[in-house]
Amino acid sequence: MKKQISGGAVLSFAAQGISVVIGLLYTPVMIKILGQNEYGLYQMVQSVTNYLSLMNFGFSAAYIRYYSIAKNNNDEDEIANINGLFLKIFLMISLLSLLGGGILLANIRILGTHLTDADYVIARELLIIMVINLAVSFPSNLFIAYLSANERFIFQKLIGIFANILVPVFTIPLLLFGYGSVGVVSVALILTIMRLACSIWYCVKKMSIRINIRYTDRKIFKNLLEYTFFIFLSDVVDQLNTNVDKFLLGRLIGAASVAVYSVGFNLRNYYLIASWIIPEMYIPETNRLAMEEKDDTKLMALFIKIGKYNNYICLLVLTGFILVGRQFIQLWVGAGYENSYYVCIILMIAGYVPAVQTLGVNIQNAKNMHRTRSVVYFVIACINVGLSVFLIKLWGEIGTAMGTLLAVLIGNGIFMNYYYYKYIKLDIFSFWKEMLKWIVPVGVLFVTAWFIVRALYIDSWLKIFAFALAYSFVYLILLWYIGIRDEDRTKIKRDIEKAIKKTEV
């Protein structure tokens, strides 16, 4: 399984790299062909449809926990029963999502009064296809969760890589032939169906998955609902903190402002997705440690270890973007998106603490101690909505991003760290002490680079790439000699030597 974790991590970074490159090349083409208004409309409908994904109710996260319990009992029949129960649940959710989509379609005017009749025609078509796509994706949750629970990460990541590559291959011709945003979402539906088929094939043919579709246990289902309700509440919070901004901007200002916000928001997503790559590989181990270990020493060590990895990545991306992000956006999507730079920085700062503490969410779920977090986050997310409505009127796209920042700082920054320390009994002071060891030298490097950038005139892709490479090189040198401990350097050297010897053989 170590090979699956290391291989999965490598492929995850490869997939993320491919996704970023494709996004950087494909997004400006998409914006240019669609125009700012239709691109904003596409993002707005997508944000509304994403609320239907809440119907997952946290069952995907719950599956790994219940699978781990059955696996720990070494009971294959119990695993088959769990698979059957969850498959029926996901199929039921698919039907509910179609019903919810029908209700949204009947009330499409909820998007606001700033759209034209032609906009609403496109919005209806987008909504129909997106809802079908979502309904198809729910049954695949069982097979994806089964692969994750068995730590079969390599296959998952390979499928993700191929899907990312196929997006522009299929979509760009449709855009050029005038199919617009409807063509974009149609491709997404086709790829979802293909991924579902591949996941089913692998689980059945390669892993011999057993599914007892006839199994029903009201007691387990009741326990599931109690467990998943608060995960669901947490998902509601995530949706409020991410998608409500686009919806509010669309209603209060118009589709063009959604486009500006979405450029910064999507760039921020690359930053946050990277923070999930390594923690995702350790979800099964986190569940095992939470169930098997009498104390939390190993969990704490894992929490700090994963936090340090994410800290290295997040600070490199965050500081680098602050330095040359303005020039990057200007060259990337052109004029009219100046506020996207500020939106992206604000959202990146908001995402920093949750990113370095990503594994903490899994620890809470594994310990079944996620209820308080969900309730508090829900209250703070509601405050975020109220703040955003007020701040949009003052500063538009930047205002709604500021509302998200304030809510996340209170929830993730202050409350969550208190909760980790007081109730989950994690040594949060040791955690941040380890993070601070790297934050300080990065701060010195950033300030130095800031004065260098101000003295330079960066106005081309070549200059941006040259600066990014130079900054990353210096960052990695500092990381090697200051950020990484001696024993870790020794281990890395030993692993590299082993890899070289294998290639020579």
Please write the tens of the pLDDT for every residue from 166-224. Answer: 988 999 999 999 899 999 999 999 999 998 899 889 988 888 888 888 877 777 777 77
pLDDT at 10: 66
| Dihedral sign (CA 303, 310, 322, 395) | negative
Residue 124 to residues 52, 81, 127, 175, 258, Cα–Cα distance (Å): 16, 40, 5, 19, 18
Q: For the chain, which ranges sit under pLDDT 50? A: 4, 503, 505
pLDDT at 505: 44
State the Cα–Cα distance between residues 401 and 252, nearest whole angstrom.
Answer: 15
pLDDT at 501: 57
Residue 166 to residues 143, 155, 188, 404, Cα–Cα distance (Å): 22, 17, 10, 33
State the Cα–Cα distance between residues 253 and 396, nearest whole angstrom.
Answer: 8
State the Cα–Cα distance between residues 170 and 82, nearest whole angstrom.
Answer: 37
pTM: 0.76
Q: In this predicted model, what pLDDT tens digit does every residue of 81-119 receive, in sequence order?
A: 888 888 888 898 899 999 999 999 998 888 877 888 899
Are residues 82 and 70 in contact, defined by beta-carbon separation less than 8 angstroms? yes
Q: How many helices (H) and strands (E) does the chain have?
A: 18, 0
